Structure formats: C-alpha cells, structure tokens
Structure 1
Amino acid sequence: MLKPSKQISKQRHLIAFYKPKSTIAEQYRTIRTNIDFSQVSGDLKTMMITSAGPGEGKSTTAANLAAVMAQQGKHVLLIDADLRKPTMHYTFRLSNTHGLTTLLTKKSTFDEAIQNTEAENLFVLTSGPIPPNPAELLSSPAMISFMNHALTLFDTVLLDTPPVLAVTDAQLLANLCDGTVLVVRSGATEKEAAVKAKDLLVKAKARILGVVLNGRPVSKSDSHYYYYYGNE
C-alpha cells in the first residue's frame, strides 16, 4: 500500500488522471485540443516534449498530456527518452529494470519493456538503466527501427527528452518526431534561454507546435490560465 506522502506526490504529477475535473486537468485537455487542430496539415503520431533547461515541468507535462490523449480512447505510448535524469518510473511507480536502453541494446524484448499503467490505453516505456552513451543510443538505427515498430502498435507516441540547452539529445530526436512542444516555466525560464532553445530546435528541423507556459500563478480573474498553449 502506498504511503500517503507518495500517493499525494503521484496525484500531483498525474493530476489529469487523478483529478480529471480540476482546472489544471482542463488546461491539459486544452493543449490536447490545440494539438488536434494543428494536425490539419498532416498526422501527428509522434511528439516530443522538451524544455530549455531543467526544472521547467516538461516531464509532468508529458505525463499529463499522455493521460488526456489516452482518455480520448487512443492507444498512447509515453517514452522516457531522458536517459540522463529519467523520472517516468517514479511518476507512474513502475520498475525501471527494463526500458528504452535495454530494448535498444537487445537486452529485453518489446513486450518485456512496455508497461501498463493505471490509466486505460496509456502505456509507458521507462528509460531503463542509465547508459554511458545516451546520445549514441538515441541516434542509433535501433532507435529508428523501434520507433517505426511502435507506430504500428500505438496511435500516438510521446517522448520526454532532456532539456535542449543541456545536451544534444532533444535535437537528435527532433527528426524522429512529427512535432515538438516546448515547455517554459513562468518566472523561471529566461527569455534568452527560451529563444535559444527554439533556435536550436529549428536548426534541427523540428516542427514546433507551440509553447506550454507552466507554473503561472492562478488568480480569481484568470483561473483558467494556469497552463497556456499557443501555436507559433
């Protein structure tokens, strides 16, 4: 049985699942709706969630966005592609013995690595043990082959990647994704950092769908704008 403190933490990170009628959960659905509208020019089956720097809420955004997409009835795979500081196994309280790294190095099978979650239609591929060569793994032919296979089994594949300014991993993965969402934190992300992150993604030929403004204080007159999503 979960200890109360850990249960509260889990609910906080997966508010779209545990409190689907909350204001914040509604904003995740707004993000989902905007993404749906951006599909007019083509299907968006693979999406990358990233940020300029650490601590801006990209992993929480990825987890909750995956949850609201699964609530539509889509079969969603959420991949923890942050092979340096992975968090999804903590968020979903899953084992991390098998994951993306063991799958890419053929130390586990697809069925062994993909895990069910409490949320219907939502599956998670945790990072697996942290490797010495994250960038090489993520840019390997094995990663391309895995993504192609995943797309035959899932309606949507979401990747949580490391921050853009920290390492090159997000730029390497941009070419494998149909779209990218950049997360910034209100009062924390410097404008220059956000612009630089965007420029690096553009150079990597990422299709930037929009920006999520995370952590904006809620006021009585603006209670529905805790999260905001807008196309570029």
Structure 2
Amino acid sequence: MELADYLRILRKRWLVILVLTLVGIAAAATATLLTTPQFRATTQVFVFVPSTGTAGDLAQGGSFAQNQVRSYAEAVNTPRVLEDVVASLGIDETAEELGESVTAEAPLNTVNIEISVVRESPTEAAEIANATTTSFRAVIDDITSGQVSVSVLRDASVPQEPISPNTNLNLALGLLIGLAVGVGLAVLLEVLDTRIRGQRDVEALTTAPIIGGIAYDPSAVKRPLIVHDDPHSPRAEAFRTLRTNLQFLDIEPGARSFVVTSSVPAEGKSTTSANLAIALADSGARVVIIDGDLRRPKLAEYMGLEGAVGLTDVLIQRVSLADALQPWGRRGLTVLPAGSVPPNPSELLGSRAMQSLVHALEQEFDVVIIDMPPLLPVTDAALVSKMTKGALVVAAAGKTDRGELQGAIAALENVGAKVSGVIITMLPTKGPDAYGYGRYGYGGYGYTAEAGSASAETKRRKKAARR
C-alpha cells in the first residue's frame, strides 16, 4: 500500500479508529479509578568510617565506605532490620512481607543510601521509612562494632501526592494503544474487504473501460426510471454521461447491440438497462430494449407495460416480432418484454431463433439493448453476448465481490464474448469512495459536457414551445 491508500483508509474507517481510541482512553481511565493510590516516602543516609587520624586515613575510610555501601544497602531488606520495624510499629506483617514494600538504592560513586517505602497510607509509608532507617543504623553499628557509622541526611516526610496511578501517563498510553489498535483494525478490515468500492478496484481486475458511474439512490426502487421521472437530477445526468461514453466507445461501424448483465443479482442491471435505453432514445436514436431475463423479468414492471407476451413467445413462434414489440414514451424507444417464463431459458436464448431475432432488430434499430440475468448463477448472458457487439457488465459498489466480478468477466471471455465496458452502480455519495460526476468520463467527456448539452437541449425545447 502507498501513503495515499493509508490516508484513504483513515478517512473511510475514521469511526472505527475514533471508537477504539475512545475505548482505550476509557479503559485507561477506568483502570486508573480502580487502582488504589500508592505513596512513597524516602529517607537518605550517609555511610562513613569515623576517623580522627590524618587526611590519608580519612581518604582510606571514605574509599572503604564507598566500596562497601552497596553491601550495606542490601542489608536494608533483611529480616534482621525489618523485624525490629515490625515489632516497634506493631505492623501486622512478617518481615518478608514488609520487605516487598521497602527498597534501598546506593547511587553510583557515592556513600549515600536512599531507603524508600511504598504503602497505601502516606503516613504509614513515612513512619516505616524512618523506623527502617533507625533499625538499619543500629544493625550496621552492631555488625561493624562501631567501625562504620550511618548518619541520616534526610528524614522521610509524609508524601502529599501518590506515585501511582499516574493519571496523565495512563490516559496517554490508553490513547496511543487505542489509536494503534484502531488503525490496525481499520487496515485489517480494508485488506479483508474484497468488495468493489470504486474505479481502482475495477481497473485492477480488467482492462475493459469503465464507461459509467451511477451514484447510490435509496429511492431507486420507487423511481427506477430516473431519466424519465426526474430528467434534471444528477443521477439522470449520470445515465446521460453513460450514453455519451457508450457512443464514443462504439466508434467502429456495424451493428450496435449490447447485453447488459452483472455478476450476481441485485446490482442494478435492469434499472441501468432501462435508463440507458431511455437516454439513448432521448438523443434521437431508434432504440429497442429486450428483457432477456427469462427467469426474473423486471422491465415490463418498471416501464408500466403488459408483459404477458414477449421474447419467449417470439422465440417459440407463438406471436410475430412485430406484434410483441411495444412502443414506449414519445421518443423512439421500443420494448420487447420477456413474456411468459419458460422451463428452458438457456436453450431458448442460445438458439438460432434468438440469433436471428437479434440480427433482425439490429437491421431495424440504431441500438439494441438486451437486459440479461447475472453471469455467475446462469449462462444465459454469456450465450447471448456472443450474438451482440459486446457485454456491459454492471458492478455494484459495496456489494459486488472482486472475485465475483472477475468470475463474471472470465465467463464472458471463456465463450469468446467481448466485454465492452464496466458500469459501476450504487457508488457512495459521501466519504473517500464518493462518486464525483465526470470522474468516469471516457475520452474527456463527463458530467460538465453532458450538463451543457442538457442545458442547450432544454433551451431549444422552451423556444419550440413558445412558437
């Protein structure tokens, strides 16, 4: 991953990172509140060898004390010292238990010893520290027969602030740990998330051009034909951009027939087919759209047509093609519904009759759009794609798995069909993967050009209405 990828993850998964950071801070605060405060009291003593002799004797005594001071410091925690402390203060502990809270340190190149006691009670800590120092002085005097003396440099005072818990340090550690876990989890979730999110994911799987991007619209179920119902909406403009890109994509002469399919169900292929057909018809082209999904037909319902007679009836020669075609709207759009659901859809769609039908429609119309079932569950779309100019594969952002899209494209390539382009649907409108109009432009054509074209067309209509 590059730095831009990590920044994108931070923007995308910021809520996870924030929540875990707050959890880390809360856990640190809870641990701090539940931790019993500990207080430290410290005394400092000076170890020396008494001498009334010459300067050389003093130096020799100082050197001896410095060499032995660490040994004397180790004696602080011995039972001989601490038993007197337990007895004098009446502490309900053994000398070994008391020794766990008593420490002694001798700074390097000095003859000083610091005796520290850590207890829950600050007063008790000071009392034990002073009592330990008194007992220690007596023990050293006894075992050295007075040849080594210990003098108190600083008595222990009652500490005012606890040494633990360190609230600021704990909160800082909680923040850092929570932040690190949050970032790690965000990266892990991104790595494990194999769904298509946008243009980069599609480009990593196929060399087929991305010819359109349609933003997610929660009301698409209620208003599937957005180009017709709300022609000036940004989503309708996205379909017109798709129309323009498709026109520039298909610059070679010959029949212009396309299968619209997807990897799995519910990726928006039928609404994409219908809106693309309407947008093409609005540009003045003669368009026919066929509902080739003989398993779960949707076009007749979306377009408000009677779907009892359609493609199935034409293929089995129950009705003529002319009788099954239904004009739609005031433009040059014609619809061929699916008709009745047959028991053998694959056989019908792969038949010579279907090939002849596609060829006949290519001769009569400028563009033929065939809405087909998903590629992975059934082979229908792959069979019909071979009869057309190519396939337009719909991939839903946040829904289609990368493996599914890869498998769908492979299914088309395995039968020799051409993948003319990929259309990304359900793109988010917010966040790092947000859909930006014009981002999916082809050959330099995007939202701006289409908006200008739409605006000009609107002006022409208004002038015509005045006349």
Which one of the candidate residues 172, 186, 195 is aligned to 2:383?
172
Q: Paired residues, what number?
A: 224
CA contact (8 A) 1:213 1:229 kept: no
Distance 1:69 1:99 in 2: 22
Question: Which amino acid letter does the alignment assign opposite residue 134 of structure 1?
Answer: P
Contact 1:211–1:230, Cα closer than 8 Å, also in 2: no
CA drift at 1:217: 1.7
Per the normalisation by structure 1, the TM-score is 0.89
CA distance change for structure 1 residues 166 and 228 in 2, over 3 Å: closer, same or farther? farther
User: Counterpart of 1:149 in 2: which secondary structure?
Assistant: helix
Partner of 2:308: 97
| Map 1:175-186 → 2, pairs under 5 A | 175-186=386-397
Task: Indicate yes or no: 2:267 matched with 1:39.
Answer: no
- The aligned residue for residue 410 of structure 2 is 199
Contact 1:212 1:230 survives alignment (8 Å): no
Inter-partner Cα distance in structure 2 for 1:44 and 1:191: 31
> For residues 149-198 of structure 1, what are the alpha-carbon distances to aligned partners after superposition, in whole Å with 9 as ceiling and x for unaligned?
11221111100000000101011001111021110111110011001111
TM-score (norm 2): 0.46
Residue 225 of structure 1 and its aligned partner are, at CA, apart by: 3.9
The equivalent residue for 1:140 is: 351
In percent, how many aligned pairs have the same letter?
36
Alpha-carbon distance, 1:40 to partner? 2.6
- What is the CA distance between 1:43 and its match in structure 2? 3.8
State how far apart, in whole Å, the 2-side matches of 1:229 and 1:84 are: 34
Question: What is the Cα deviation at residue 18 of structure 1?
Answer: 1.7
The alignment status of 1:112 with 2:323, answered yes or no, reads yes
Q: CA deviation at 1:46?
A: 0.4
Q: 2:363 aligns with which of 126, 132, 152?
A: 152
Local SS of the residue matching 1:116? strand
Secondary structure, counterpart of 2:243 in structure 1: helix
**Could you say which structure has the greater relative contact order, defined with CA pairs below 8 angstroms and 6 or more residues apart?**
1
- 1:214 aligns to 2:425 (yes or no): yes
CA gap 1:174/1:134 in 2 versus in 1, 3 angstroms: same
Q: Any conservation in 1 of the 2:310–2:337 contact (CA below 8 Å)?
A: yes
**How many Å separate the matches in 1 of 2:363 and 2:222?**
31
Instruction: Give the 3 Å change call, closer, same or farther, for CA 126–56 of structure 1 in structure 2.
Output: same
Q: Report the Cα offset of residue 219 of structure 1.
A: 3.3
Q: 1:175 to 1:195 in 2, by over 3 A?
A: same
- Structure 1 residues 11 and 227: alpha-carbon distance in aligned structure 2, compared to 1, 3 A threshold: farther
Tell me how large the CA RMSD over aligned residues is. Answer: 2.2
Report the residue type matching 2:308 in the other structure: T
Write the letter of the residue equivalent to 1:161. Answer: M
2:225 corresponds to which residue?
Answer: 14
Preserved CA contact (<8 Å) 1:184 1:212: yes
In the alignment, is residue 25 of structure 1 matched against residue 242 of structure 2? no
CA distance in 1, matches of 2:442, 2:273: 16
Gapped regions of structure 1 (runs ≥ 5): 1-7
CA–CA distance in 1 between the matches of 2:378 and 2:235?
A: 30
Instruction: State the alpha-carbon separation in 1 of the partners of residues 407 and 422 from structure 2.
Output: 14
What one-letter code is carried by the residue in structure 2 that aligns with 1:182? V
Alpha-carbon offset, residue 41 of structure 1: 3.5
| Contact 1:97–1:129 under 8 Å retained in 2 | yes
SS at the partner of 1:112? helix
Greater C-alpha radius of gyration: 2
